[in-house]
Structure 1
């Protein structure tokens, strides 16, 4: 009984530390590449951290927190924070559910990339509302940027997943 009670706090601290590290990495990569992280054409390499949610549910919260914090640096932060945060949370939950029974990690990555790219209608709507940009074209450009980000990031994360067990 004593051993279990000593391990519980250690596990909780470890979980929180992993989540904080992922959230801070998301923010750091987004802000370092801020020139291409915000706007009608986006290439957010930090989106590669989305794939972590496929390995462990703790990363749903970690990545969502990273997006919320990073979006405070956006010129349209007052909408980016709630819309981007909610959209990210939903994409991660939907992606986990959609890929739950898939055996191939590559297919899980492809499915998640497509879901994320499709979800960019929320960002397109926000940019249309704020700047009067044409919705369909903006959805296309933001979605294409997301797909490119997820593809490049997916290759990085897939290679890392061969060396690091992200499920632990």
Structure 2
């Protein structure tokens, strides 16, 4: 469990340590690694770390798949292990929002925490601080459906393509 460093290999870079973000091709896919000013990988020694609003593990920036637009990860830094949402650039989604992912699902975020990913045709609605399923095609008095919570809707949406980090 040592620390990860990256050194330049081309003739223009004299073998010095790389700092900042660098894009690397791994398994025919471009990924981004982040390194501190001292050359150490952000999130070194198998720890989850957040830097500049982005999450890293052993230097690897945890980005959502570009086609999905969003992904979730378990934030283990506080000990609570709550899921948070990140975008395709690894940036934390903050606040309270209802987002549409690349597959047409709705992602509900409350207080910067993942609540649920639902496949409703209509955008969920927020009422009195809570989120609900909504059906615009129903009669006016029947449009509001069941409440959306992590316990009822979030646990069922932990697909491997959607979860970026869960340790």
Q: Same fold (TM over 0.5)?
A: no
Query: Larger relative contact order (C-alpha < 8 A, sep ≥ 6)?
Result: 1
Q: Which has the higher strand share?
A: 2
Structure of greater Rg: 2
Could you tell me the TM-score, scaled by structure 2's length?
0.32
Could you tell me the TM-score, scaled by structure 1's length?
0.32
Q: Which has the higher helix share?
A: 1
